[in-house]
Structures are given as structure tokens and as C-alpha cells.
Structure 1
Amino acid sequence: MYTNILVAVDGSAVSDAALHHAIRLAQDQRAKLHAIHVVDIVGMPWEEVDIQDMLTFYRQQGETILARAVASAKQAGLSVTSTLLETRADGPRVAEMLADKAHGIAADLVVLGSHGRRGLTRLFSGSVAEGTARLCGAPVLIVHGPTQKSG
């Protein structure tokens, strides 16, 4: 049913859960896995920092996150590729970039983690998962993190 699965990774626990689901699906379907990380430079705090140092740091962090994802997929016996992208002030946002990549690799499925932001945070930052689902031509599996019990 699936031959190309795109999974977005950002190093968070929710992203790790999404990667785990994507790996299991790819194993079950004998699909190729494509891991992607987008450095969102548009949403970064730029006051009083050396921009080049910050960019270098986030690019290296993205490469490390992708290397871990690739290692996990290879350990599971999968064929895997990885892509590191970054947003630009005048370019597409993260959701558009994920949808474009999914289209470019003819993804049958996109797997994303959702951080479950609510209220004003969600209003102003938007939801990458929802945006990708809206823009993407392929089905999108949204993996939520573990729920926390109060009290």
C-alpha cells in the first residue's frame, strides 16, 4: 500500500514517537523511508546574537537529528534518505516545505508529530501538522505525544 513514507523529525519526544511509527509502517509495507528536518530560521529569536553562529548551530543540530533518524531506520533494515532544509523570511513556511517534499518524492504517507499547542501559541505560530495535512496531497498521520495526567 505504501512505497514512500516521509517522516518529519525535530529531535523532540513527539518527533521520536512519529519516527518510531514511520519505521514500523515502512517495515510492514516494505516502503522506503525519507526523513526530513526543517530549520525554521524565521521563527528564531535573533536579538543580540551572532546570526551565523546561530545558523551553524541549528544546521548542525538538524544534521545530528537526521543522522539519528537514519541510523534508527537502517538498524530496522530500511532503505532511508534524509533531507535538511531551512526556511527563509521571503520563502515558504515549514508546512509548505514538507508538503512540497512529499510531492517531490511521491510520498504515499507523511508522518508527523504534533506538539499539541493550544490557545494563543497555536493562534500565532500555527500548527505545522495541520498546515501540512491541509497542503499535502498524500495522507498525513499525526502522532501525538503521551498525555500528561494532572493531579
Structure 2
Amino acid sequence: MNNILIAIDFSDLTPKVIETGAKIAASFGSKIWLIHVAAPDPDFVGFETGPQSKRDWRAKTFREEHRLIQAEAATLSDRGLDVTPLLIQGVTVETLVQEAEKLQADLIVLGSHGHNVLYKTFMGSVSEGVLTQASCPVLLVPTKMLNT
């Protein structure tokens, strides 16, 4: 197993997702690709960009996400793991699947938040989308792991 893609969203489950992927990577001597898919700019999805304040807020959010993923990658690197952080704007499921293929990932590790049926109906499920579209194995870290 050469390449492990660990997908994070900075939720409460993120530390468990990272730790699960890191343990597997350490066992196999795998390279870790730590990825966060940032929300696309509104004009990217067909909407006007809006006033400058919205663009400034989006830029600030993107910088903060960049800082967070760099910090997570540094922590893994300090443990002797080979890790490259990736912060990419896009539609989450499609971007994760495309990056996994591009990086020739042998495994994708991501969290499963366990949203209810109503949420999934209107918002969709990232984990379900990746699970059905990825061309490599996917390991879902369940929300219940927060209690362990």
C-alpha cells in the first residue's frame, strides 16, 4: 500500500480520521496525502461573486483552512510519517475521487458523520458518494469513534 489519501473536514471527527489513516500508513510505510476540499467560490458554481466583503470572508476562511491543514501535516511529519497536505477548492465528492485517481491512492480514509435521512436527501452524503464512486478501497471512520 503506497499511497493513502486521508480526507478531512476539520469537524470533531477529524482527529480520529487522521489517527486511523496514520496508523495504517505507519504499518505499511505508506505516503499520506492529507486533503481538505474547500468550498468552491460562488462564481465557480454559477453564482455572482457578490460584494467585496464576501470575497474577503472567503479568502480569510481559505487561509485559515490552509493553516489548519499545514499544522496537521506538520504533526504527522514530526512522527516520522511521509505526508503532503493538499487544500483544493471544488465539489467535495468529485474532487476527492479525482484526486485519489490522480495520486493513485490505494486507500481513502474519511469520516462518516451519520446524518439522518432528511439531511442526506437534501445535502447528500460525502462518504456515500466517495464510497460508490472511488476506484480504490474506502475506509469510513464512524462518528461513534468520538467516544473512544
TM-score, normalised to structure 1, is: 0.84
Partner residue in 1 for 2:8? 9
Q: CA deviation at 1:58?
A: 1.9
In structure 2, C-alpha distance between the alignment counterparts of 1:127 and 1:12, rounded to whole Å: 15
Structure 1 residues not aligned, in runs of 5+: 88-92
* Structure 2 residues not aligned, in runs of 5+: none
Is the 8 Å Cα contact of residues 36 and 82 (structure 1) preserved in structure 2?
A: yes
Q: Residue 66 of structure 2 aligns to which amino acid in structure 1?
A: E
Contact 2:16/2:146, CA 8 A, preserved across alignment: no
Q: Give structure 1 regions of 4+ aligned residues with deviation exceeding 4 angstroms.
A: 46-49
In the TM superposition, what whole-angstrom CA distance separates every residue of 1:51-92 from its partner, at most 9, and x where no partner exists? 2122112211221221122022112211111111112xxxxx
Shift of 1:147: 6.5
Distance 1:127 1:77 in 2: 33
**Equivalences for residues 15-26 of structure 1 within 5 A:** 15-26=14-25
For residue 133 of structure 1, report the CA deviation from its aligned partner.
1.2
* Contact 1:109–1:138, Cα closer than 8 Å, also in 2: yes
Q: Which of 30-39 and 12-21 deviates more?
A: 12-21
Letter in structure 2 aligned against 1:131: G
Contact 1:18–1:112 (CA<8 Å) still a contact in 2?
yes
Q: Does 1:29 align with 2:28?
A: yes
Contact 1:10/1:62 (8 A) holds in 2: no
Match of 1:63 among 61, 66, 76: 66
**Maintained 8 Å contact 1:112/1:143:** yes
Report percent identity of matched pairs. Answer: 29
CA deviation string 1:68-126 (max 9, x = no partner): 22022112211111111112xxxxx2111000000001000000011111121111110
Preserved CA contact (<8 Å) 2:16 2:145: no
Instruction: Give the aligned length.
Output: 141
Match of 1:75 in 2: 78
TM-score relative to the length of structure 2 = 0.86
Could you tell me which residue of structure 1 aligns to residue 132 of structure 2?
134
Asked if structure 1 preserves the Cα contact closer than 8 Å seen for 2:13 and 2:146, the reply is no
Between Structure 1 and Structure 2, which shows a larger proportion of helix residues? Answer: 2
